[in-house]
Amino acid sequence: MPSHDSDLVGTLKVSGFVRGRTLNVNSLVHIVGHGDFQISQVDAPPDPFSLNPRVAKGQQRKGQDMEIQDDSVNGAVEMEEVIKVLMKADPRRQESLQSEVIPDPMEGEQTWPTEEELKEAEESLKERRKVVKVPKGTSNYQAAWIVDDGEDGSEEEEEDNMEDEDLMEEASQVGESSEEEELVEEECETMTVAESARDDLYDEKLDEDEEQMLEMYKQERLDQMFPDEVDTPRNLPARVRFQKYRGLKSFRTSPWDPKENLPRDYARIFQFQDFSRTRKHVFRQIEKEETEGAAVGWYVTLHICSVPISVMESFRQGLPLVLFSLLPHEQKLCSTGMHDLIATGFLLSVDPDRIIIKRLVLSGHPFKIFSKTAVVRYMFFNREDVLWFKPVELRTKWGRRGHITEPLGTHGHMKCHFDGQLKSQDTVLLNLYKRVFPKWTYDPHVPEPVPWVRNEQQLPMQEVEME
């Protein structure tokens, strides 16, 4: 039934049995591969597959009026059955098709924080302070690393000779057996077999696949040995290459505003105040309104509004037409993703404020080592980058913590202060973090035909002649 406004959109009538739960006319239905639609009314036609035909015929005679018209031309008898209308949609209670929030560009404007907000931020970040004698010109950050005279500054002496991490593996060789097995000649028939095309196809891209697998194996090994470590570029300043990253004093306790610098697409996502509470409330309402609607097992006809003609074209091509009812708020967009299985696990929470952090580690080598200071090189290659990353805290693989004191020269060498003496085999690390967002690739339409396995290629079966 195409609509008058457009020939490509119309009302689709679908007849079938209700399964699972009671079908409400005010709820939405989802047609697999085509999207969500609204229902205008639900009819109750006669059941063509009744288990008791006699009872069905009796009910049909009592409940339905038959109009018989004699056709003088062909003598045909037309029978029009008056179908019972079970329910019609209520526009006030009908579920909306809106799946995304319509963002208002004016809501994204940010104002300068007030004095009260600044005071609250200062009070929340207040820490216990202590009076320490420091040289003139020392900043607050540098003063935090100066040890007071009353504190215990002596540390236990560490062993000079450390055991090497790399242990020599003992080579075990299996002695070759001197005795050779005797070959037993058996009578056999000689035959010629044509070479199969599978062997040629198997060896065709073997070298390329082996190189790719070897490269992937090397990258995995490097990532295991040096997790998240990257090399600082020589032809590009580090402050430009890593301008989207920031340093954190503590990954666990440092604050990070979840509403900061959100992409524009995030304004289209619905956010529930309490998702679990809303979910429980929806299921309670369904249990209370279980009697309203088409019960399970009924044979009904659904009038679905604004259905594109592509649904009928796909059905005529032999594809199945599957539809199911949606719960309230189920059509709303709350997460992104396509139909590729990436991983399996448990859902922690439906929270758009969850922050996904990407870590990046810059590494340097101690060039000169003193009691509690060291000259580090190979982390940066110019003086400006050292000054740019000076506020970020440093750590080492052996558990030392420190900070950058000042740059030395113009080639990226820097003087660093640590809470203890470094070892010559230690590595200085600087952690940077950046928030990442999932790519907005949501598409409610499923491609036809559905690719069950990506890039699946079936080899043709070839007959092998044997003589």
Q: DSSP secondary-structure letter at 13?
A: E
Instruction: Tell me which of 3.30.70.2740, 3.20.20.150, 2.40.10.190, 3.40.47.10 is the CATH number of domain 229-256+354-435.
Output: 2.40.10.190
Q: Report the Cα 178 to chain-centroid distance in Å.
A: 59
Q: Give me 120's structure tokens.
A: 């609250």
pLDDT at 144: 60
> Consecutive sets of 10 residues in the chain, 467 residues long: mean pLDDT of each?
59 82 79 79 79 57 45 38 74 73 60 69 62 65 57 42 42 42 43 49 66 83 84 88 87 82 77 80 73 75 82 76 74 52 72 86 92 92 92 92 92 92 92 87 59 46 46
Query: What does residue 108 show for φ and ψ, rounded to 5 degrees?
Result: -80, -5
pLDDT at 66: 41
Please state the pTM of the whole predicted model: 0.47
* Cα distance between residue 56 and residue 266, in whole Å: 55
pLDDT at 159: 42
pLDDT at 341: 58
pLDDT at 374: 94
How many helices, marked H, and strands, marked E, lie in the chain?
A: 9, 15
Whether the Cβ atoms of residue 407 and residue 304 lie closer than 8 Å to each other:
no
Q: Report the Cα 49 to chain-centroid distance in Å.
A: 45
* Cα distance between residue 28 and residue 325, in whole Å: 6
pLDDT at 199: 55
pLDDT at 260: 83
pLDDT at 415: 94
pLDDT at 161: 40
* Cα distance between residue 394 and residue 308, in whole Å: 60
* Cα distance between residue 267 and residue 333, in whole Å: 11
- Burial class from Cβ neighbours inside 10 Å (0-12, 13-18, 19+) for residue 287 reads exposed
Domain boundaries, the chain: 9-99+273-325, 229-256+354-435
Q: Give me 135's structure tokens.
A: 């040289």
pLDDT at 187: 44
* Cα distance between residue 383 and residue 414, in whole Å: 8
